[in-house]
Every structure is written in structure tokens, then in C-alpha cells.
Amino acid sequence: MAEKRAIELLEAKIQELRELNKMEEIDMSSEIARLAEKLEALKIDTYSNLSDWERVKIARHPERPYALDYIDKIFTDFYELHGDRLIGDDRALLVGLAQLQGKPVVLLAQQKGRSTEENKQRYFGMPRPQGYRKAKRIMALAERFSFPLISLIDTPGAYPGLEAEEFNIGGAIANNLLAMAKLPTPTIAVIIGEGGSGGALAVGVADRVLMLENATYSVISPEGASAILWKDKGKTRQAAQALNLTAEHLLKLGVVDEVIPEPLGGAHKDPQKTVASLKEVLIRHFAEVCNTPLEELLSARYKRYRSFGCYRTLSDR
Amino acid sequence: MAEKRAIELLEAKIQELRELNKMEEIDMSSEIARLAEKLEALKIDTYSNLSDWERVKIARHPERPYALDYIDKIFTDFYELHGDRLIGDDRALLVGLAQLQGKPVVLLAQQKGRSTEENKQRYFGMPRPQGYRKAKRIMALAERFSFPLISLIDTPGAYPGLEAEEFNIGGAIANNLLAMAKLPTPTIAVIIGEGGSGGALAVGVADRVLMLENATYSVISPEGASAILWKDKGKTRQAAQALNLTAEHLLKLGVVDEVIPEPLGGAHKDPQKTVASLKEVLIRHFAEVCNTPLEELLSARYKRYRSFGCYRTLSDR
Amino acid sequence: MAIFKEKHYLRVKLDKETDESLWMQCKSCGELVFKRRVRENNNICPYCGEYFFLTAKERIESLIDEGSFTDISKPIMAADPLLFQDTKPYPQRIEEAQQKTGLADAIIIGNAAISGIVVVVGVMDFRFIGGSMGSVMGEQICHGMEEAIRNHYPFILVSSSGGARIQEGILSLMQMAKTSVVRARLAEQRLPFISVMTYPTTAGVQASIASLGDVIIAEKGAMIGFAGRRVIKGTIAEELPPNYQTDSFALEHGSIDRVANREYLREELSNVLRFFVRQ
Amino acid sequence: MAIFKEKHYLRVKLDKETDESLWMQCKSCGELVFKRRVRENNNICPYCGEYFFLTAKERIESLIDEGSFTDISKPIMAADPLLFQDTKPYPQRIEEAQQKTGLADAIIIGNAAISGIVVVVGVMDFRFIGGSMGSVMGEQICHGMEEAIRNHYPFILVSSSGGARIQEGILSLMQMAKTSVVRARLAEQRLPFISVMTYPTTAGVQASIASLGDVIIAEKGAMIGFAGRRVIKGTIAEELPPNYQTDSFALEHGSIDRVANREYLREELSNVLRFFVRQ
Ligand SMILES: [Zn+2]
Ligand SMILES: [Zn+2]
């Protein structure tokens, strides 16, 4: 996109002028203000009509804030717990205790790597059965001590591999769905990046599902859908559009309760601002669920999931 | 033992005479009766004062009835269930549904192999984490459907191996102890052969613990104790004696509720008779536990295990 | 995700010309077989033992006491919430599938008896868009479990599905959660759920309701797993064992309880049901 | 099973002549170190960082707020229910261990505060017959958990044990079940149990109470596992990885939550306790 290049150039220019402004006698603030205005207009032009496929790319942007970036800034005292007590530990799905607003919570966090080395360890953010079962173990802890549970979702999907199949990854996901359906404690899921199919849902059944503006959540990746439905790997843009995988669509479909705004151009353009938005929304919902009687939460959770779907009665035909 | 050889010769002789008796006109029944009497006396002499080490050898006798032999004859409709839903299946610890006296029960059965090939599959009766976790899974089924649980114990111990450690066999055993402590359904454990330490106890926490006369149950094998305490692999006889691992001792210590008599010389001398004894005792206890209110069972189970141990108060000193 | 090409699995291939005829050719051994004979033989080739696909109705017939079936499916069919269009519009796919199968969607729910034990049974039909789970299948499965709860019957689900239905997007994904929350209620009521996995039980169906059976029985020759061979080969370039995601792989790795030959599946079900139903 | 030779683990070896002296020699780096300095340094060699064994009392000192400890152990000691005799009679072993350690058995139970949070803590002492769990240890652990229940305190257990005590035979094995049934009560009361595994936490102790923590923290350098290297080598002749049964092996294979250096263990405990205790 030519617009993106123009935005970058303009940003650089403004930065230069700001530096000059500090160092020299000459006052350039009116020039800076004018340029900033232009930049804003250009950004709105460029970003406010992002296609779904462009949002997919933003959701996957390598500089996008990852789970630990939010945990760092929104929670205190994150105390990671390791291991499923069965097979191993998984670095793509972290679990632990933390404080939110002075209250202890259990965190589930899908975490991608920044470097190649880190991505190797974290399997590019694709959890294995070890991760899902670690999550299930920590749900039991949440239940025993009535800790609310908060999931941060950001995964291309569960890890596809021989070992994962040997360790029954499908069964691991299924059992998490069941566990989260019943978990007698308030639960919130936040989709912060990629919500990759069953691999995301396995930690995403909750009383509140929140979603960043440019995050995606889908039954299949646009690449996958393109290959299967169009028998053509290149139809990712159309597939993304067809899948209704953006926050806006998901809000309309009732899958998501609230969309958390991102800075123009995406969360990575201003991580601090993104963190602040997410924190505000999360804390509001957190207070709500914590103040709702558990029976009510569970019954509402049941109704929410029981009612998903859209079909016609045959007399409509 | 020379006596054993004599017994075998005498048995063979009597058998020959019986054959003759059938085929010929001559009546040999009085000779047969006399010999049978002698045989009985010799057997009592030989077997009624078995040393503990001799009982260990009987408990490990390759012709001794194994779990499936009892299941075959005492239960009906054995329906084996496989797999821990996590990693794999274990052939040293079988689980399944069956009927006892027309009531559905859950069975846990440690099973040794008869042939080398079978022993390879069954790891010589030493369960791996897959087995213990399969047992734990089936306990959840017993809980959900209020099926009484019956364990048949016969293992040299949990399998010692790298993979078993990688899959946290210690944790698997510990979690079974916890699960059996709480299991809200009647439970009976029967030690039919070797009760090998934690590997046996992991399916042996129960409302009733029954034990065949020549079975053993011990914190460590005589070989292990000999090597550790005497620094000498040859002290197995002494170690067996010192460990108090026979049914008679365990009854006195309160670990076992009833000893099931075996034919002279051991269960393998007359499997049918052994099965019949076991069945009689098992069914009696089964009726008792099934007729006891669950709250009472659980409270008695708690008291039973809470009270194990023997110590002096320091003022005794 | 319905990631399988149908043609790969449709092992019974009828010559267009002889479609109405009495004969079919076995894809496995090449023999020409009398169709009725195949049908009477649970759609197993009498020459080589190859299992042909069963439609949902054939599956029901082969599992339950004759004449005991009542269809209690909800009278619903797929909507098109996303106005989904790939190479064709979704409604057209639905209509074609309905015409091909005579079904409203990829599952039938019914009351039936198995060796005299009354159950609620759900049976998927792979011919209907790869047996994929969209809103209709999710709703029907929940409806089946609720009927089981209402009448205190066991619930049996026979899966044959490539996974979630892409054309309903996220709503298909949500069926995994939806069926799980209702499955939790079935468990609370202490009613048994027997899951039967057939060829194929994969992706979103294997990773939800099908794996949540109190007892899981696979039909011999089933395919069971989450990520298909192609996906793994594509992503990871790993060498896969020849029995990858077969019934024997699943049994060996502990994700199912039993494997049964098709001709014994009915007996298998009646054997296991007897433990859960006081008669 | 106490399957370890003590001498293998007693890394602090004092010269008989200098036993009462102010100096000791580090077995790892060979340096002569001022004993008080080692003591003040959590029994870590100031030269090479080697961890020396901590007695139960030293461990308590290193973990809790100064002066906050009250010994609440039951006033009991081992009986000799089996009249056990190997190369010596069991009572003689007990007496020797008591004289060596000044303890009644291989564990101390107390009330203490960690960063101001009051807890019940149990600490094992490996010098006492390899930290083995017999009737006394089992009873003391249960007593500790019951005190925690009575006063609504968290329970902390610091393990250092080769396993069950052979000399009490089956009664030692039963302590695995005994501690488990009481642990279940602690859970019912929703009281936290933090298990700390140190060198070594193996066999019957690892296969029961030590593995049942809500959170399991290993001290760096811990040995954690069920069957010792010798047993496996003896039975199976398998090649074992160099980190077999170390803290890193346990972490990698998911059987523990965290590993902490000895000098941070107190902070680690205070960090985790804060989640469970409303202040
Ligand atoms: Zn054929
Ligand atoms: Zn040193």
C-alpha cells in the first residue's frame, strides 16, 4: 500500500521537526501541528476502511503486543505455573496466578515468540496437548480457590503434529470445553490477536468474550478456507471476507460482547494506548462478573453457549 | 525341597492307580484312599509351615492364577475399556465394566503375562503411568454412575523406566491415592499375588482389603530390601521374614480385613478351588459394602487410613 | 474444518449408467457385487471385507432393533447467516446436499431400541457436506441430549464428520462449545453417553462432542484425529506412521476405549448399554 | 523406599579432627570455608555456589521470618511394630539417628510466619534414616495438615526423603495413603498446600504427599522421581539422560510448577502464599 509508505514518511518528518524544535531557537510548532493534522487525515483514510484480510495481517503483525505485554502492564505479581503434571510443559500457552485490581486471578495466556529462537520454543504460539492440559489443571485450582479466570487468546491454532495427535490433542481440547462450561468461577476471555479455531476456543468458553478491534477469530484460517473451498491458495482475501472473522462481525453475531478499540493502524502503532483501552474494558467486565452471583453467571453462560447458531425451521422453507 | 518331589511322585502314583481302577476289574480304591491320606499328611507337613520367602515364591509362581482367571470365573460380561485418553493404553493394568451378582461394577486388574511375548506386552505386570491414569479415568466413571469398584492386585511394582519417569509416574500414583481416598462409591481391593509397594497401593486404597493366603504385600521386594539394608543380594529369605509381607502378618497389622485360604501348596495347585474361595469371600464383602450407606463407608475409609501407623508417645520412652 | 475431499472417502462409486442397477463394483477388490447382498451385509464387501460408506439411514438400520426407530430430529435446516459464498453460494450447497441425501442436514436424531434398550441416537451422514457440523448439527445434537435427559435415556452419537462447517464460520466453531455445555448437563444427570467414531471423526467434531463419551467405541477402519495428514505434512514435514489416525493408532494412544468390527457394533452397543440401564 | 546411600548425599564432610572447628572444606571446589559464613549463606558454598545439605532446623531458619517458629510436632517417636532387624535392630537405628540429629524422627512440624503470613510448615531432615517416611512422619504430616485445617492456615511441606521407611514395612507404605486421605480434607477446606521438593524427593514420598501440592516448587538441584537411577539401570538397562530426575527434568516434563534457587525460596513462598491469603 502506497498510503502506508506515505504515513511512515510523514511520521518520520514530524519526528525530525520535533527534534529540531527542541534544539534550535526557531519555533516550528505550527508546522508540526499542520503536518500532524495531515497525518491524522491520511491515517483515517488509510486505516478506517481496512479490509478483513488487512485486519488478518494486523492481527498477525510481528510487532503486535503479545499476551505477556498485556500481563506486564495490566496485572501485577504474575506468578507463572508450569507443567501439566502428566507429560510436559508448553511455552505457547502460559498459565499462572496474578493480581488484577488487588484480586487474585488465574491467567491463561497464549504467547507467540518475537525471535526465531523464541518461536521455536513457543511453537509459533500453537499450543500442544501439554498446554491445554496445563490449562485444565489450573482451572481446577481456580475452582478450588474461587479465583476468577482470565484468558488471553492469540494463536494460529492448536499445534498440528504427530506428537500432538499421539497425545490426543482433540480430546484435550474437548475436555477443556467441558471444563470451562462448568467452571464455577467468573471467566473472561480476551482475543488479543489471532483466535485460531479450536485451539483458541479451548481456552475461550467464558462469561465474557472481549476482542481487540483488529483481532480475528475464525473456524479456519483464510489460507485453509481458500485451499479447501476454492482449491486455490490465493483466495485468502476473499476467504477472510467470507469468514466474518473480524471483531465487528463477531460482535454482531453475538460471539463477542465488546470490541476494544485499537489505535489507527493497529495495536502495534501505539501499544501503550492499546494496553490502556484493553485495561479499561477488562476491568469494567471484571467488576461486573465478580459482582454477579455465581449461579447467575453459570446459568447465563449456559444460555449463551446453548443458544449459539442460526438455522431456519423447515416451515420457513 | 525333597518333600515337593515326593508330593509330586505320590500325586502321579495316585493318578495312575485311578486310571487303572477305571479300566480293570480289580478294585484299588482302598489302596488309593490310603495313598491319598499319606499324600495329605505329607502336604500338610510340607506346606503348612511355609516360610515367608516360600510364600513369596508361591505368590510369584508362574502357574498361579492371574487376574483374568478370576475375572473369567467370578464376574460376568467383562467389558474392557482401554486408554487413559492422554498418552496410551497399558496392558499391565486392565480396567473395565463387569457384573458381579447381577450388579454392574468397575474392575481394575493388574495382569501378568504367561508367555514371554505376553509379558513383554504387559511389562511383567508392572503398570506405567498410562495404566494408573486409565484407572483414574475409570474411577471418574465409577463415581458418575455409582458403580462399586473392585481392584485385583498383582504386580511386582510400578514400572521403573525412563518413559515412566518422563510421564511422572510418581505423580500418577499420588493422584490415584487421592482419588481413591475420596471416591464416593464402595471399593474393594483383593491382593491375589504380589502387592508390590506403591504400584499396588495406587489401586489399593479401599473400604475392604482382602488377600489370598499366599499373596504378599510389601513396601519393597525382599530383593530390594536385601540389597539396601544388608548390602547383599542374597539375604532375600531374611528380608522376606523381616518385612512381614504375608497375609497372616498383614491381617494382624490391620492392613488386610480377611485372608482368603488357598489350597495346600498354593493357588496354582487347585485354581478352581482358589477361585471358589475368593468368590465366596468377595461376594460376602461386596454385599456388605453395597448395603452400607455411602457416608458411613467414606467416614470408615477415612478413619481406617488416617489411623494406620504405630508409634510411641515420647513419655513412653 | 471440513478438510477432506469427499471423493477420497466415497469408496462406493457407482457407475452412472448402472446407478439404478442391481450391481455395484467394489473399489477395493474390483468385484462386481449384487447390491442387495452388500446392503444386507452392512455395506461390507462380501469378497474382500472392505467397508463401504453407510448413509445415516443405513447406519441406523445396522445398529438398532428392526422397526424401533422414530425420527425425532428438530424440523430445522441451515440458514445462511454469513451470506457465505465460495465457488457457489452456501444455500446452493445445502440444496444440492439435501437433494443428494434426502436429508435436511448431516445428522438424524431419533429414538430407538438396541437389544430392547431404549436410547436417543444421533447419526451423522458424511455425504452431506462432509458430515460437517454447523448450526443445525450442533442444535440437533443438543436436542438429542436434551431428549435423553427428559426421558432418562442413554445417548448415542455416531460420528462421521470432517469437522466444523466452514460456511457458517464462527457459528460452526461455537457448536463445539454448545454441544459441550449440554454434554455437561447430561453428565450431571448421570446419563451415559456412548460415542461411536467412524470414518472419519476428525477436527472440530473429534475435538469436542465425539471425544466426550463416557465410553468411546471406534468402528474398525475409522479415521480419528484432529489435524489431517495433509495439514501436518504441509506445516511440519514430519514423517507420519502408516497407521496415523487409524483406529489402531487411537487405541494404542489411549484416546478411545474399544474398536469393533461393523458387524459387531450393534452387539457392542448392547453389551455396554446393559451396564448403565437397570432392566 | 530409602534406596539411597546416605554417604552419597552427605556433601558436607567434616574432618573428624576439625569437627568442632570453625572451618569446613567444600566437597565440590575443595576450598576451606569459614563455617559461620556458610551457615549465613544458606549453606551455599561462597566460592563455587554448591548447595550443602540443610538440616531441618537450618531449612526452617532459611525459610521463615526470624523468631516466628513454634515447634508443634506431636510428642511421638518410632515404635518397632515388626521387631525389624537387618544388620542392626531398628530401635538402635532410631536411637543413633536421634543422637546424630537431635530430632525424634525425620520431620519437624511447626507454626511459623513467612513474610508475615502464618502457616503450618513441615520440614524433613534427610540425616534421619534418609528422611524416610514411617509411621511417625506420616502422623506428623497429617497432624500438620489438621492443624492447618483447625486454624485455617496454609500448609507447606519441605520434602527431603528417599521414600518410605523399610523398617516399618507395610505400615510405611500405608503412610502414603494416610497422608493422601488427610490431604483430601485440606482440599475440601480450600486451604492451600505448597509442596517444596528438595534433594532428594523420591519414591514413596514423591509418589504421594509431595506430588499433591496445589503448587509444587523445587529447590534448584533437587532430585525428583520415583525409581532411582540404579533401579532403572538394574532392571531395564536403559540409557538415561544426564539431567535424569533433576529439577530441570521435572520442570521439562511438567511434574512441578517452578524451580527456585535456595536463596530465593523464602521469597518464592511469600510470593505464592499472597495469592491464597486475604490480608
Ligand atoms: Zn471387495
Ligand atoms: Zn565450593
| For the CA of C45, the nearest ligand | 1
How much of chain A is helix, strand and coil, in % rounded to 5? 55, 15, 30
pLDDT over 80 at B212, yes or no: yes
pLDDT of residue B207: 98
DSSP D117: E
Min Cα–Cα distance to chain D from B267, Å = 23
Distances (CA, A) of D64 to B127, C183, D110, D186, D267: 40, 48, 11, 22, 10
Q: Give the chain C residue whose CA is nearest to the CA of A300.
A: C181
Would you call A83 and D275 a contact, using CB atoms and an 8 Å cutoff?
no
Would you call A76 helix, strand, or coil by DSSP? strand
What is the ipTM score, two decimals? 0.92
Dist. CA B205–CA B178, nearest whole Å: 9
Strand partners, D223: D246
Q: Are A309 and C75 in contact (CB under 8 A)?
A: no
Comparing alpha-carbon positions, the chain B residue that sits nearest to D177 is B177
Q: From the CA of C3, how many Å to the nearest CA of chain A? A: 6
Query: Closest approach of chain C CAs to the CA of B228, in angstroms?
Result: 37
Using the mean position of ligand 1's atoms as its centre, give its distance from the Cα of residue C240 in Å.
27
Residue A92 one-letter amino acid: A
* Ligand found nearest the CA of C32: 1
Q: Which of A1-5, B170-174, C26-30 has the lowest mean pLDDT?
A: A1-5
Find out whether B145 and B138 touch, Cβ atoms under 8 Å: no
Torsion of CA A163, B178, B66, B166, to 10 degrees: 30
Report the pLDDT value the prediction gives residue D223, as an integer from 0 to 100. 96
Over residues D60-84, the mean pLDDT reads 96
**Residues B86, A133: C-beta atoms closer than 8 Å:** yes
D232·B160 Cβ contact <8 A: yes
* pLDDT tens-place string over residues B253-288: 999 999 999 999 999 999 999 999 999 999 999 999
Place of cell 465460495: C86
Give the cell for residue C139. 442444535
Mean pLDDT of all residues in chain C? 91
- pLDDT for C6 equals 34
Contacts of D224 in chain B (CB under 8 A): 170
pLDDT of residue C225: 97
User: Residue type at B21?
Assistant: N
Residue A221 has pLDDT above 70, yes or no: yes
Give the closest residue to C268 by CA, choosing from C63, C103, C129, C102. C63
**What's the CA-to-centroid distance between C26 and ligand 1, angstroms?**
5
Q: Long-range CB contacts (< 8 A, 24+ apart) of A38-41?
A: A38/A10, A39/A7, A39/A10, A39/A11, A39/A14, A40/A264
What residue of A is the nearest CA neighbor of C206? A170
Given a cut of 60, whether residue D3 has pLDDT beyond it is no
pLDDT at B75 over 70: yes
Q: Per residue in D180-231, pLDDT tens?
A: 999 999 999 999 999 999 999 999 999 999 999 999 999 999 999 999 888 7
Q: Give one DSSP letter per residue of A226-255, joined into a string.
A: HHHHSS-TTTHHHHHHHHT-BHHHHHHTTS
Confidence check: pLDDT of B50 > 60:
yes
Rounded CA-CA distance A153/A202 in Å is 10
Over residues A241-270, mean pLDDT: 97
The Cα–Cα gap between B132 and C259 comes to 21
Confidence of residue B15 (pLDDT cuts 50, 70, 90): confident
User: What is the pLDDT averaged over residues B189-213?
Assistant: 98
- Assigned C-alpha cell, C231: 495439514
Residue of chain A nearest C145, judged by CA positions: A306
A266 pLDDT tier (thresholds 50, 70, 90): very high
Take residue C198 and report the three cell numbers written for it.
467412524
Residue of B nearest to A163 (CA): B87
Phi, psi for residue A308 in degrees, rounded to 5: -60, 140
- What distances in angstroms separate CA A213 from CA A243, A247, A269, B237, one per listed residue? 16, 6, 13, 75
Cα of A95 to nearest chain D Cα, Å: 10
Which DSSP category does C242 fall into? T
The x, y and z cell numbers of residue D132, run together, are: 524416610
Backbone angles phi, psi at D77, to 5 degrees: -145, 170
Q: What is the mean pLDDT of residues B203-223?
A: 98
Mutate to test the interface with D, among B128, B165, B314 (most CBs of D within 10 A): B165
Written as nine digits, the cell of B124 is 511383567
> If we measure between CA atoms, which residue out of A57, A82, A69 comes closest to residue A214?
A57
* C11: confidence class by pLDDT, cuts 50, 70, 90: very low
Separation of CA B188 and ligand 2 centre (Å): 54
D171 vs B162, B168, B308: nearest CB: B308
pLDDT at position B1: 58
Read off the pLDDT of each residue in B302-312 and give the average, rounded to a whole number: 98
Check whether C113 has a pLDDT greater than 80: yes
**Which residues share a beta bridge with C258?**
C217
- Closest CA–CA distance from residue A178 to any residue of chain D (Å): 22
Question: Other C-beta atoms within 10 Å of C135: how many?
Answer: 25
Q: Which residues of chain D are within 8 Å of residue B245 when distances are taken between CB atoms?
A: 169-170
- Name chain C contacts of B144, Cβ cutoff 8 Å: 187, 190, 214
Q: Are C190 and B85 in contact (CB < 8 Å)?
A: no
Pick the residue from chain D with its C-alpha nearest to B205.
D177
In the block, residue with C-alpha cell 508475615: D116
Residue range C230-253: mean pLDDT, rounded: 87
Contact C204 A242 (CB under 8 A): no
pLDDT in tens, D16-37: 434 557 888 888 888 888 888 8
C23, β-bridge pairs: C34
The answer, yes or no, to whether B and A have at least 3 beta-carbon pairs within 8 Å is: yes
Cα separation, B51 vs B244, whole angstroms: 11
Tell if the CB–CB gap between D253 and A99 is shorter than 8 Å: no
User: pLDDT tens, A79-125?
Assistant: 999 999 999 999 999 999 999 999 999 999 999 999 999 999 999 99
- Confidence label for C10 from pLDDT (cuts 50, 70 and 90): very low
Select from A164, A165, A177 the Cβ nearest to the Cβ of C176: A177
pLDDT band at C17 (very low <50, low <70, confident <90, very high): very low
Q: Are A126 and A156 in contact (CB under 8 A)?
A: yes
DSSP state, C87?
A: S
